[in-house]
Amino acid sequence: MTTTTSAPGKVYLFGEHAVVYGEPAVPCAIERRARVTVTARDDDRVRVSADDLSLDGFTVEYGSGSDAQPDVDVPTPLIEAAMGYVEEALGQARDAADRPEAGFDVEIESEIPLGAGLGSSAAVVVAGIDAATRELGVDLAPEDVSERAYRVEHEVQDGQASRADTFCSAMGGAVRVEGDDCRVIDAPDLPFVVGYDGASHDTGELVAGVRGLRDEYDFAADTVEAVGDLVREGERALADDDLETLGRLMDFNHGLLAALGVSSRSLDDLVWTARDGGALGAKLTGAGGGGCIVALDEGDGVETALSLSPACEQSFRAALATEGVRVE
Ligand code: PMV
């Protein structure tokens, strides 16, 4: 048998980084998906091939216990990062089905740039766990997939992960995450436009940087708390469908993230390009450092402005993905 499952990426409307310290965050799933096709094998080997992970594609084959050896020449740190998530996801599927020796062929196709703030790893992990458990005859509820995916991110990111990405990808829609309290919330289809600078970031490193600042300076800790206040304000604006306030708060959130040292020249450039193009608001999304920004724009001014910017490798409109993980 073969099972294909997909799961969406996400943008952060508000609250990344602060969510790691128990403040609320509101990520929204977007219609850019990772598709994972899994076939259970008769032996205990694993073969993983991937396309479109912002790489030229790669194939990795290995048996249990031996190290993954990429058989094509592509950037090794990115492959190692991707393989860490995939291997842990398969481990969760083996655990859920109580089949510790199960082997798999895995094909990954993703429309989500890797390490760019759109939740690529969470989407691959969520879809991978779902497809692999189904292959072993177990159907998990999306909440259970989300819980297991969180354990994977927590493990691979050395304990520095919130539940935001994995819950959002598994459930779809707009979600609110505060510590262990995760829920889907009502939201209109917000007019998101994403700008991508072509770079990738190391989430763990950026999270560690914020942690260091927060430990060193009370005003950095206050900044993290201010993000929490802003998110609570944002939730009210979301409930009222008040796009103007949402935009203003996104601008504010970007400023606070910049103060915490996680913006970059190119992300600031994209944010200002979006504002010049008429955005209601714009901010970086995800860990920062490089990758993507998200703007709100009901017209086409922002997309046009971004497409003309030399700092922008790709820009696109991103509809809210109301469905989370699903069998294709
Ligand atoms: O850049 P991403 O998609 O890995 O998002 C990271 C979001 C953080 O809040 C910085 C970390 C987390 O686990 O929530």
Q: Please state, rounded to an integer, the average pLDDT across all residues of the chain.
A: 91
Cβ of 162 closer than 6 Å to ligand 1, yes or no, is: yes
Q: Which residue has the tokens 């046009």?
A: 304
Average pLDDT over residues 221-250: 97
d(CA 186, CA 188): 7
Q: Would you say residue 72 has pLDDT above 50?
A: no
DSSP for residue 251: H
- Rounded distance from Cα 43 to ligand 1 centre (Å): 36
SS3 111: coil
> Across the strands, what pairs with 7?
34
Dihedral (CA of 104, 170, 178, 294) sign: positive
Which pLDDT belongs to residue 278? 98
Q: Would you say residue 79 has pLDDT above 80?
A: no
pTM of the model: 0.91
Which tens digits make up the pLDDT trace of 176-229? 999 999 999 999 989 999 999 999 888 889 999 999 999 999 999 999 999 999
What is the helix (H) or strand (E) element at residue 293, kind and residue range? strand 292-296
Q: Would you say residue 121 has pLDDT above 50?
A: yes
Atom of ligand 1 nearest to the CA of 285: 1
Cβ of 119 closer than 6 Å to ligand 1, yes or no, is: yes
What residues act catalytically?
A: 165
For ligand 1, atom 5: residue with the closest CA? 286
Cβ of 151 closer than 6 Å to ligand 1, yes or no, is: no
* Greater model confidence, 16 or 60: 16
What is the helix (H) or strand (E) element at residue 186, kind and residue range? none
